[in-house]
Amino acid sequence: MALILITGASDGLGRALAVALAEQGHHLLLHGRNAARLSEVAAQTGATPIRADLSSLAEVRRLADAVPEGLDVLVNNAGVGFGAPGAGRELSADGYELRLAVNYLAPYLLTKLLLPRMARETPARIVNVASVGQRPFDLADPMLERGYDGVEAYRRSKLALIAHTFDLAEELAGTLITANCLHPASLMPTTMVRQAGWGEIDTLEKGLRATLRLVVDRDLTEVTGRYFDGEREARALDQAYDPEFRKQLRELTESLIGR
């Protein structure tokens, strides 16, 4: 059975994924920000809970330090949604735009820190939960200081995460570690969707099926560098495939996280 870390596992899709993987007998490390909810799902699944606030890069590093060697699967699922209608621009603990910090910088840094701890002798996987809602990322205004909008901020952060996934796949070519990303389903009944005041479209079960497939399906053992819309391979926004954009985004990111 695999050792799997799921971020954002105390609610919504992450919690459903944790329950499903526990039923399959996998060993789970579950991250969450809310201590009470995290303890509840850890007790339900027999998993090891690790509390951290991913809006802080210091806490991302602390989370990474708590993960043992031999990690088989990393699921970067935690995220911040659109926010309440009309909500203003928010900043992370490090002074960065909040959605960029949690949805992109945190999984970027966590993945980089955990790569040395991932299994090398057997196939391992990185699964990044992205979104079909993508918008071009403005390298000249990464913190969205001009004309802020929560939906725009969310979609830009997910575009950045997809681009990073493609970078990872290239970096890890020739190893047994794969990196893929997906849009699990549209507007599932989760806390972030309810907070945004948007209506629901898809069921949580639909998103769970798509995500679970990337985590455990043996037919995908050697598949890497792909974006999936649900269970179907799809094409992300063109910018995510642009090598020059990805190079500039990578340089910006490394400067922001202080590596």
Cβ contacts of residue 54 below 8 Å, gap of 6+?
7, 31, 33, 60, 63, 78, 101, 102, 106, 110
Establish whether 154 is a catalytic residue: yes
Tell me if residue 112 falls in helix, strand or coil. Answer: helix
d(CA 172, CA 121): 14
Q: How much is the pTM?
A: 0.94
CB atoms under 10 Å from CB of 202, counted, come to: 15
Model pLDDT, residue 187? 64
Structure tokens at 217: 């399906």
Model pLDDT, residue 85? 78
**Mean pLDDT per 10-residue run, the chain (259 residues)?**
96 95 98 96 97 98 98 97 84 97 98 94 96 96 95 97 98 97 80 66 84 98 97 98 98 92
Give the sign of the dihedral formed by CA 133, CA 138, CA 141, CA 146.
Answer: negative
Tell me if residue 167 falls in helix, strand or coil. Answer: helix
Q: Which helix (H) or strand (E) holds 92?
A: none
**Strand 3-6 to 27-32 pairing:** parallel
Q: Which of 108, 154, 227, 241 is catalytic?
A: 154
In order of their start, the domains of the chain are: 3-257 (3.40.50.720)
| Block residue for tokens 């998993």 | 47
Model pLDDT, residue 87? 80
